[in-house]
Amino acid sequence: MSQDDTATTTEWTHEKVVQRLAGEMFRGALWAALGTIAVAAVVWTVLAGVPGLVSSLIGGALACLSSVATLLVMRKTAALPLQFIMIAAFAGFLGKLVLLVVVMLLVRRFPVLHDDALALTMVATIVVATFMEVRASKRSRSQMVVPTPGNT
C-alpha cells in the first residue's frame, strides 16, 4: 500500500458514521426549512399583517432551533450504542412536539402575536425539516455494516 493510499483511507468508526449522518441530515434540512419559513412569512404577512409576519418568524425560528438541537444531540450521542442514538433522536422529535404545545400555551398570554401564524409555521417547518432529515438519511453515503450469517 503506497503512502497516497493510506492518506485517503479513513477508518470509519460507529461514531464517525453517525456524526457524518447528522451533518448530512443538517445540510438536507437547512434550505428546505428556511424556504418553508420564507413562504410562511410571506403568506402570513398577507393574511395577518405585521403580527402574522412576526409570529411566523418566531415559530420558524423555534422550529429550526429544535431541529438543530435534535441533530446536536445525535452528534453528542454518536459514541453510544445505536439503541441510545435512536432513543435520543426520538426524544428530540418528541421534544419538538412538547415545545409546540408549550409555545401555544404561552403565546395566548401575548395577544399581539397571531396564534395561527406561529403554530402553523412551526408545524410546517418541523414537518418539512423532519422529512428532509429522513430523506437525507435514506440517501446517505454513510457506511453501513451488514453482518454475515457466520459473523453475527
Give domain status of residue 90, yes or no.
Answer: yes
Give domain status of residue 5, yes or no.
Answer: no
Q: Are 133 and 28 in contact (CB under 8 A)?
A: yes
Q: pLDDT digits over 20-62, tens only?
A: 888 888 888 889 999 999 999 999 999 999 999 999 999 999 9
Give domain status of residue 86, yes or no.
Answer: yes
Better pLDDT: 70 or 42? 42
Give domain status of residue 1, yes or no.
Answer: no
Give domain status of residue 145, yes or no.
Answer: no
Per cent of the chain over pLDDT 90 is 33
Q: Work out the average pLDDT over 121-139.
A: 89
For residue 94, give its domain range.
14-138
Give domain status of residue 71, yes or no.
Answer: yes
CA dist 30 and 79 (Å) reads 24
Q: pLDDT digits over 1-18, tens only?
A: 455 554 455 667 778 877
* Sequence-distant (≥ 6) Cβ neighbours of residue 133 within 8 angstroms: 25, 28, 29, 67, 71
Q: Which run of H or E residues covers position 82? A: helix 82-107
For the CA atoms of 74, 77, 79, 85, what is the dihedral angle to 10 degrees? -70
Please tell me the total count of domains within the chain. 1
pLDDT at 49: 94
Give domain status of residue 120, yes or no.
Answer: yes
pLDDT band at 82 (very low <50, low <70, confident <90, very high): confident
Give domain status of residue 111, yes or no.
Answer: yes
pLDDT band at 143 (very low <50, low <70, confident <90, very high): low
The structure's pTM equals 0.78
